[in-house]
């Protein structure tokens, strides 16, 4: 058994008294649900309050069993944009490598839950095919290495991938997406960080959603990453009950900046099945962001974006991409000049 992590209800109940909402989740048949995995470190810093923002992100609730008509298994349309196993190519000059399905913690709001914690890590043969695709597609300049959690891939797999990328002989901007330094700072492998530090043009993208996730242990790990010359960015998700107030967002943005981490994106929740209890209605989300943008410096302000359902791509929620709204939907123009829509949900 992995002692640093809790992976079932019985272990969880040794730490917490479950609420009715949480217990109701565990008493369901549980077919095809996201696995449970929470570090003991995270349980320690979250305390015992059932409304704690860390708890809401990690302990499942009955809301995860409710599906709305607008939700889908694959809200970003990953499957239709995957020319090679493990590679998603949505935009001309950017691509995403899903190097592993593993995460240190399974976030209950995860939008890639059809993949996360269910399949496996990429093998060397699959990495070879990805490198071949990148060789044939010289227009790709920027790669996001994620999953799952990019840092949960083994040292050997990461080293093999970087070796392949470096063999392409062209500059590639690399971003590695990980939540491991946030949810289990001490479990973050220093040898992997050394390997990342040796790569050119590599950025690390964290996901911190609430200022209380940045403990002294986290601070030490963030410093260890920065000492290796790896710049840090943060992509947060707007989550109901977790960070859906201007104050929570302001504290998060300034908390990040004070630690040398640039707030990069704030995402509106994707329409992933079983996540409606986390989504903030877009109308309210725009109000929060509008007020935030008037109250923090430009350095501390992330961009606010949403992914259009079904593979429509990312749109920045600025006037230029907003087209119109009717009773049921907001309509946006994406970077390919196509119109996509996102539902107007109620509180
Ligand atoms: S770390 Fe990312 S991929 Fe993993 S469960 Fe959380 S949101 Fe999903």
Task: Give the least confident one: 59-68, 233-242, 303-312.
Answer: 303-312
The reply to whether ligand 1 has any atom less than 6 angstroms from the CB of 110 is yes
pLDDT of residue 343: 93
CA gap 201, 126 in Å, rounded: 24
CATH label of the domain that carries residue 254:
3.20.20.70
Q: Whose CA is nearest to atom 3 of ligand 1?
A: 148
* % of the chain residues with pLDDT over 90: 81
| pLDDT score, position 250 | 98
- For ligand 1, atom 6, name the residue with the nearest CA: 107
Atom of ligand 1 nearest to the CA of 146: 3
Contact predicate 7/37, CB 8 Å: yes
Model confidence at 202, pLDDT cuts 50, 70, 90, reads very high
Contact between 286 and 239 under an 8 Å Cβ cutoff? The reply is: no
* Local confidence band at 226 (pLDDT 50, 70, 90 cut-offs): very high
Per-residue pLDDT, 28:
83
Shortest-distance Cα residue to atom 8 of ligand 1 = 110
Find tokens 């707007």 and name the residue.
238
Question: Does the beta carbon of 37 sit less than 6 angstroms from any atom of ligand 1?
Answer: no
Structural contact between residues 292 and 253, judged by C-beta atoms closer than 8 angstroms: yes
Q: Is the CB of 149 under 6 A from ligand 1?
A: yes
The model carries a pTM of: 0.95
Ligand 1 atom 5 nearest Cα: 106
Confidence of residue 129 (pLDDT cuts 50, 70, 90): very high
Distance 103 CA to ligand 1 centre (A): 6
Domain total in the chain: 1
pLDDT band of 2, cuts 50, 70, 90: low
Cα separation, 117 vs 148, whole angstroms = 7
Ligand 1 centroid – CA 298 distance (Å): 27
Which position has the higher pLDDT, 112 or 38?
38
89 lines ligand 1 (CB under 6 A): no
Q: Is 202 helix (H, G, I), strand (E, B) or coil?
A: strand
Closest listed residue to residue 335, CA positions, set 320, 345, 347: 320
Query: Which whole number is the average pLDDT over 116-124?
Result: 80
| Ligand 1 atom 7 nearest Cα | 110
Weakest mean pLDDT among 6-10, 30-34, 214-218, 297-301: 30-34
DSSP string, 102-142: --SS--TT-TTTTTTTTS-PPPHHHHHHHHHHHHH-TT--E
Per the prediction, the chain carries an average pLDDT of 93
Tell whether ligand 1 has an atom less than 6 A from the beta carbon of residue 60: no
Residue 132, pLDDT score: 98
In which domain, by residue range, is 35 found? Answer: 5-343
The strand order across the sheet containing 202-206 reads: 87-91, 94-100, 142-147, 173-177, 202-206, 232-237, 261-267, 303-308, 313-316
């Amino acid at each position: 058994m992995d002692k640093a992590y809790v992976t079932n209800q019985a272990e969880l109940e040794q730490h917490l008294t479950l609420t009715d909402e949480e217990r109701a989740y565990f008493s369901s048949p549980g077919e095809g649900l996201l696995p449970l995995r929470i570090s003991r470190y995270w349980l320690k810093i979250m305390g015992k309050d059932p409304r704690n923002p860390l708890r809401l992100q990690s302990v499942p609730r009955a809301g995860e069993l409710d599906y709305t008509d607008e939700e889908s298994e694959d809200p970003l349309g990953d499957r239709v944009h995957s020319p090679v196993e493990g590679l998603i190519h949505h935009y001309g000059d950017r691509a995403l490598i899903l190097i592993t399905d593993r995460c240190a913690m399974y976030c209950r709001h995860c939008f890639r839950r059809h993949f996360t914690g269910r399949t496996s890590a990429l093998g060397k043969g699959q990495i070879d095919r990805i490198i071949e695709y990148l060789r044939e597609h010289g227009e790709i300049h920027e790669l996001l290495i994620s999953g799952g959690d990019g840092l949960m891939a083994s040292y050997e797999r990461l080293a093999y991938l970087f070796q392949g990328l470096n063999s392409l002989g062209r500059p590639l901007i690399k971003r590695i997406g990980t939540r491991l330094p946030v949810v289990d700072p001490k479990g973050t492998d220093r040898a992997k960080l050394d390997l990342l530090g040796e790569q050119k043009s590599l950025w690390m993208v964290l996901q911190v959603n609430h200022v209380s996730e940045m403990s002294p242990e986290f601070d030490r790990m963030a410093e260890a990453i920065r000492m290796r010359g790896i710049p840090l960015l943060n992509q947060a998700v707007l989550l109901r009950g977790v960070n859906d107030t201007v104050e929570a967002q302001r504290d998060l943005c300034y908390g990040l900046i004070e630690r040398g981490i640039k707030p990069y994106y704030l995402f509106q929740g994707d329409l992933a099945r079983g996540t409606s209890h986390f989504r903030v209605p877009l109308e309210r989300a725009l109000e929060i962001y509008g007020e935030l943008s008037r109250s923090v410096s430009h350095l501390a302000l992330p961009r606010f974006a949403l992914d259009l359902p079904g593979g429509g791509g990312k749109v920045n929620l600025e006037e230029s991409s907003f087209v119109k709204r009717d009773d049921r939907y907001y309509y946006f123009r994406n970077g390919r000049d196509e119109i996509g829509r996102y539902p107007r949900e109620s509180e």
